[in-house]
Amino acid sequence: MPRTPQPSAGRAPRPGAGRGPGRPGADAADGTDRCPGVVRWAAAVANADWHVTAPLLVSLAAALGTGIDTVTAAVGAYSLGHGLALPLWGRVADRCGPRRILRCGLALAAVLSAAAALCSSGTDWLVLRTATGAAFAAVTPAVALYCHETAGTALARQRRFADILAVSAVTAIAAPLYADATDRLTTWRLTFATLALASAALALRARTLPAPPVPVRPTPGAPADGTAPADNTAPPADARAVRRTLAVILLIGTVEGAVLLGTPALLAPALAARGDPGGTEVAVAYGASVLVGSVLVRRWLGRRSPALLVAAGGTIGVLATLGAAVRQTPTALTGCAVLLGLSWTLTQTTLQTWLPRLLPTSRRATAASLFATAGVLAGGVAVTVVAPELQAGRAPAVFLAAAVLCAVMTCSVAPAARRWTTGLVVQRFAVVPPATSRCAAPTPALPGRDRPPKTRHEFGSSRVRTARRTRGTPMSRRILVILSEYGYWGEELIGPLETFDKAGYHVTFATPTGKKPLALPPSMDPDYIDPPLGRSVTTPEMAAKVKAVEASDRLDNPLDLSSWLPEKPYRAKPYFLRDWEGYHTRLERIREQIADRYDAMLIVGGSGPIVDLANNWRVHDLILAFYELDRPIAAECYGVTCLAFARDEGDRKSIIRGKHVTGHCIEYDYLDGTGFVGVPDFNMGPPAYPLEYILSDATAPDGAYHGNFGKVTSVIVDYPFITGRSTPDSYLTGQKTVEVLEEGLRQWGFHA
């Protein structure tokens, strides 16, 4: 479906779903991905302070009466102070919020930078730079937490980080040039005096920074609108899984910091050890590269999967460090600085966006701080330890070791990023109302381990693809379940729902207009005799389960598809082109939200889907969004009809063309008595259409419909589709969906 990135002129969101007066951070809810200027420039000044030392090494050593190795060690001390202070600032940020931490850190940095401008000894310089690094450390968790608090989607967060990197890159280019100019024309002390003034001004300006929105936790039965955008579905976090995830984040941050933060800081010292000029050129080249990389991420690369971006960044890093190991001339190391800047931009923005989202909200500031701490400390230790080796002329061995470490990091992190995409996403505020179902506590095992052999195949599509999860923790899955407002069959919800609950998944329910879905009365009646089978298909135990769900509040506040997805405009409208562009712009935003929030979708069957799901354009757009994202799509019984009618507007061919599916076969169709919830006096007689014929036509010529008439169950997996024939297949449909997500199942239940 064509996408036109124009301002939306289509259907306006319902009240509370988008921008509203008096809502701080409402821009982010509407998809705005730019941080306030104070946040961007605070990161820029902190980054400038990091880069001003490189062109001043010789002047600092002379003015302070010490050697190059001492002022180089001060670079490492700065990193150490920065890294040691990060956990403290992160912990305080959890309690006090990012605004207060930002003001305190900038004010302290202003005082210390002013003291550095007056410093006269090497020892005092080491102490002051260590303390300044600790002060500017407040900027890192404040900026990261602000971005995560005020961005609704992973793409918006990555664009924000790229935007911050772009501004930081500009200062990384300007700061060394300014430091070099002041050193030549006046004195190096003016550089640190300027940083002190800038930090003080930003500390004052930060008082006006809008506060991030505070999540509101609605009470049971509260309306599911965008004004109460809390996540009340999270199961209790597995403490052991959280600790393991934090340990992985710590390890990744350590390796990334040692290679991609430590190596750029060693380029200028490597030249100084050889007696070559070029420290300024190296610093400027690195900053320019970060700027270009941030623009690439923001405009073109942000939609790529974390695995691909990490792999690309790591490969570029390996090439850069290998180049530095081969030659240490000014020209060669300037080229290596360019590659390292690109590598760091791709890797850092991806990891900042991806890693904290693997944890619950209460631990994300900790995760961001640990990641930054590990990186900065590792970079500082690397610089401090390796500086004497550069003075001893062993630069090739140093850069070769960095290349090996970067290769190990890339080969380890990229596969992990492929398995673990965005995890437990808590909707701080969003256009999409929050999930309203609470899952059961996670259990480690799934029932039914006797499974037929599985076959796999790669899913080929010209559509946009994102990384699929094939393994992850129970807290990392969200399933969107679509139900009809005209009646669903009870067991066809209970079967998959119980399976998802046992797997620890989050379940979000949705209906066409936000009304509570109701089960068809026969699906709660053990005495009801199914006409085609001549027997009851509902056990007393199943009837009790359906009634329990109906009586609970799990289905009380489903997501309203009519408020979330746009209405397709009529071509006869006076401003059709503008409305059409707005329609596709809104769909693009929704696709980004789905990519961030849901791993799979399920359409529950029954007679109701015949009325309000099968030919519902919003349901079709939702299916197409999951299809374009290469996410699993499950459907049962008459819910499978939606898959046949979901079609790209370009070729008008069904998305199940060439696929193998199942669905309600004609032998099981009623000859009379097809009814619906809410219209008790209406008897449709037989169903409105023979689903078997529709599916047979939609899958032709290279696919097939498999009714499996006469067999107890019929479930077909032909990725990304998982289809179940009818009521007896409900549990198996849920189980196969879990296997698709956790074990990479791609085909099952048919012979191609």
- Cα dist from 323 to 288, 410, 577, whole Å: 19, 17, 52
Q: How far apart are CA 19 and CA 32, in angstroms?
A: 10
Residues 6+ apart with CB under 8 A from 105: 89, 135, 136, 137, 138, 139, 142
CA 740 to chain centre: 20
Nearest one of 107, 124, 224 to 556, comparing CA atoms: 224
Q: Predicted confidence band at 47 (pLDDT cuts at 50, 70, 90)?
A: confident
Q: What are phi and psi of 510, to 5 degrees?
A: -145, 145
Which tops the pLDDT comparison, 94 or 350?
A: 350
**711-727: pLDDT as tens digits:** 888 999 999 999 999 98
Sequence-ordered strand ranges (E) for 533-669: 535-536, 559-560, 600-603, 633-636, 660-661
**433-452: pLDDT as tens digits:** 333 332 333 333 333 334 33
Polymer length of the chain:
752
Residues 6+ apart with CB under 8 A from 597: 425, 427, 432, 478
**694-752: pLDDT as tens digits:** 999 999 999 999 988 888 889 999 999 999 999 899 999 999 999 999 888 999 999 86
Q: What are phi and psi of 722, to 5 degrees?
A: -125, 115
pLDDT at 523: 92
Mean pLDDT lowest for which of 155-159, 186-190, 232-236?
A: 232-236
Q: How far apart are CA 685 and CA 364, in angstroms?
A: 55
CATH number for the domain formed by residue range(s) 35-210+224-419: 1.20.1250.20
Contact 611, 484 (CB under 8 A): yes
Mean pLDDT lowest for which of 514-518, 640-644, 672-676?
A: 672-676
Which tops the pLDDT comparison, 452 or 48?
A: 48
Contact 46, 105 (CB under 8 A): no
How many CB atoms neighbour CB 175 within 10 A?
Answer: 28
Q: Could you tell me what percent of the chain has a pLDDT over 70?
A: 79
Tell the residue number behind the tokens 């309306």, with chain if given: 223
Three-state SS for 421-485 is: CCCCCCCCCCCCCCCCCCCCCCCCCCCCCCCCCCECCCCCCCCCCCCCCCCCCHHHCEEEEECCC
Q: How far apart are CA 367 and CA 361, in angstroms?
A: 10
Q: How far apart are CA 85 and CA 133, in angstroms?
A: 8
Every domain of the chain and the residues it spans = 35-210+224-419, 474-748
Q: Which ranges in 97-208 belong to alpha helices (H)?
A: 98-117, 122-136, 139-150, 154-185, 189-205
CATH T-level fold of 474-748? Rossmann fold (3.40.50)
Cis? peptide before 720, omega within 30° of 0: yes
pLDDT at 153: 57
**368-379: pLDDT as tens digits:** 777 877 877 788
Which tops the pLDDT comparison, 147 or 728?
A: 728
- Cα dist from 394 to 261, 329, 403, whole Å: 19, 14, 15
pLDDT mean across residues, the chain: 78
**96-125: pLDDT as tens digits:** 778 888 889 999 999 999 999 898 888 888
pTM equals: 0.47
Q: Which amino acid is at 561?
A: L
Rg of the chain over all Cα atoms, to the nearest angstrom = 29
- 219 has pLDDT over 60: no
- 13 has pLDDT over 80: no
**Concatenated DSSP letters for 239-252?**
HHHHHHHHHHHHHH
Beta bridge partners of 506: 478
Q: Predicted confidence band at 619 (pLDDT cuts at 50, 70, 90)?
A: very high
Highest mean pLDDT among 211-220, 276-285, 419-428: 276-285
How many CB atoms neighbour CB 47 within 10 A?
Answer: 22
What value does the mean pLDDT take over residues 475-481?
80
Nearest one of 383, 374, 376, 377 to 402, comparing CA atoms: 383
Helix axes 154-185, 139-150, angle to 10 degrees: 150
